[in-house]
Amino acid sequence: MIQIENLTHVYPASRKTPARTAINNLTLTVEEGQFCILSGPNGSGKSTLFRILCGMSLPSAGTIRIAGHDLFKEPGKARAELGVVFQSPAVDKHLTVGENLRLHADLYGLSSSLYAERLSEAMAWTDLKDRLNDKVDTLSGGLARQVELAKALLTRPRLLLLDEPTTGLDPASRRNFIEALHKIQRERRMTVLMTSHIFSEAEDADRVAIMKEGNLLAFDSPQTLRSRLGREMVVLQSRGAVVLEGRIRADLHLKTRRHGDEIRLEETDNGASLPILEKLLAAYRDDIDSIAIKQPALEDVFIHLTGPQKSDTSENGEIQ
Ligand code: ADP
Ligand code: MG
């Protein structure tokens, strides 16, 4: 459904900033019907890629095909397949929910009968049924996001793009939104590409792409990504983590990674975690605030691949 080949985007130098490569030779294919999450630390190039996919900006080099149509040579055909939910609100908050949806349907030339059908579909999965005549600015953040999604789905796109759609929502509204999205995606076999910082949102995805500084570091199923870190890892917290990490390495010859107050021992062989935990406790009990054995989650894979943030550099933070 999306074929990105050798995509590069360089923001030209200005008087204040040097030229910056936001996307570096990216090649990626999203199959029809997949739910794909695009993640990566700030500055990875996610929003740049999103803008290019929506047809809002042109890349420096490379090709993109959407449902077989070349996005740059046949932009109209490619964009006809797309629905988009932006991070910032794209509905008119002074209009009612119904007026916003109707306006969008009119822009796309939906007939009245088709609009009525799609509206009733939307009312079935949203909590907007009693709110159609309310102005959008009277809705909660979660309901306002539902309006955005309902709007993007009115035209029944085969491909839905969303840029951090749950930012700013409380956990319950976020879960509602993601659950509704997954349900609709499965029912319609719609393809979804969504950027997100929130790893719990990526655990149910079919594919997760992890980017850093314009490069694609990984693109796989959550299960395959997690299995890269083995079955278990030992994670400990210490206020003196910098010093303690040095001692663990020198005394016990173990491989560590540090992120702030946290020290991780990722490459423990199957069954080796418990003896390692016991050894650490025996040697450094007073320096350890907490210690646990855990199964890697997607967030751990992300930390493993993208390393510490610039403000928190461990000497051991190289990307492997
Ligand atoms: P993300 O969405 O992953 O945080 P962005 O696509 O916004 O990443 O940014 C990728 C890189 O491109 C960053 O280094 C950022 O500073 C740079 N960048 C983004 N937008 C512009 C712009 N309009 N002009 C110049 N540089 C930009
Ligand atoms: Mg962004």
CATH number of the structural domain spanning residue 260: 3.30.70
Closest-CA residue, ligand 1 atom 5, reads: 45
End-of-domain residue from the set 191, 209, 225: 225
| 156 and 51 in a common domain | yes
End-of-domain residue from the set 169, 197, 225: 225
Tell me, yes or no, whether 145 lies in a domain.
Answer: yes
| 167 and 48 in a common domain | yes
| 54 and 137 in a common domain | yes
Tell me, yes or no, whether 72 lies in a domain.
Answer: yes
| 80 and 129 in a common domain | yes
In short, whether 48's Cβ falls inside 6 Å of ligand 1 is yes
| 138 and 271 in a common domain | no
> Which ligand is in closest contact with the Cα of 40?
1
| 256 and 176 in a common domain | no
| Beta pairing class for 35-39 and 207-212 | parallel
In short, whether 144's Cβ falls inside 6 Å of ligand 1 is no
For residue 79, the Cα-to-chain-centroid distance in whole angstroms is 22
End-of-domain residue from the set 225, 250, 280: 225
| 178 and 163 in a common domain | yes
CATH number at residue 26: 3.40.50.300
Tell me, yes or no, whether 151 lies in a domain.
Answer: yes
| 255 and 144 in a common domain | no
Q: Containing domain of residue 290, as a range? A: 230-306
Q: What is the three-class DSSP state of 237?
A: strand
Q: What's the confidence (pLDDT) of residue 318?
A: 33
In short, whether 44's Cβ falls inside 6 Å of ligand 1 is yes
Tell me, yes or no, whether 105 lies in a domain.
Answer: yes
Tell me, yes or no, whether 316 lies in a domain.
Answer: no
| 157 and 284 in a common domain | no
In short, whether 26's Cβ falls inside 6 Å of ligand 1 is no
Q: What's the confidence (pLDDT) of residue 268?
A: 67
| 243 and 194 in a common domain | no
| 247 and 159 in a common domain | no
Tell me, yes or no, whether 314 lies in a domain.
Answer: no
Of 7, 9, 11, the one to substitute when testing ligand 1's pocket (max ligand atoms within 8 A of C-beta) is 11
In short, whether 157's Cβ falls inside 6 Å of ligand 1 is no
| 159 and 112 in a common domain | yes
Q: What's the confidence (pLDDT) of residue 317?
A: 36
Q: What's the confidence (pLDDT) of residue 256?
A: 92
Name the phi and psi angles at 79, rounded to 5.
-70, -20
In short, whether 47's Cβ falls inside 6 Å of ligand 1 is yes
Tell me, yes or no, whether 81 lies in a domain.
Answer: yes
Could you give the number of structural domains in the chain?
A: 2
> Which ligand is in closest contact with the Cα of 46?
1
Tell me, yes or no, whether 100 lies in a domain.
Answer: yes
Q: Are 7 and 64 in contact (CB under 8 A)?
A: yes
Name the phi and psi angles at 149, rounded to 5.
-70, -40
DSSP assigned state of 137: G
Supply the DSSP string of 148-201, one letter for each residue: HHHHHHTT--SEEEEESTTTT--HHHHHHHHHHHHHHHHHHT-EEEEE-S-HHH
Q: How many of the other CB atoms lie within 10 Å of CB of 160? A: 24
Q: What's the confidence (pLDDT) of residue 270?
A: 66
CA of 44 to the centre of ligand 1 (A): 8
Q: Of ligand 1's atoms, which has the minimum distance to the CA of residue 40?
A: 3
CA of 274 to the centre of ligand 2 (A): 40
pLDDT values of the chain reduced to their tens digit, one per residue, 320 residues: 999 999 999 999 999 889 999 999 999 999 999 999 999 988 999 999 999 999 899 999 999 999 999 999 999 999 889 999 998 888 899 999 999 999 999 988 999 999 999 999 999 888 899 999 999 999 999 999 999 999 999 999 999 999 999 988 888 889 989 999 999 999 999 999 999 988 888 989 999 999 999 999 999 999 999 888 877 889 999 999 999 999 999 999 988 989 899 999 987 666 788 999 999 999 999 999 999 998 888 888 888 888 765 444 343 333 33
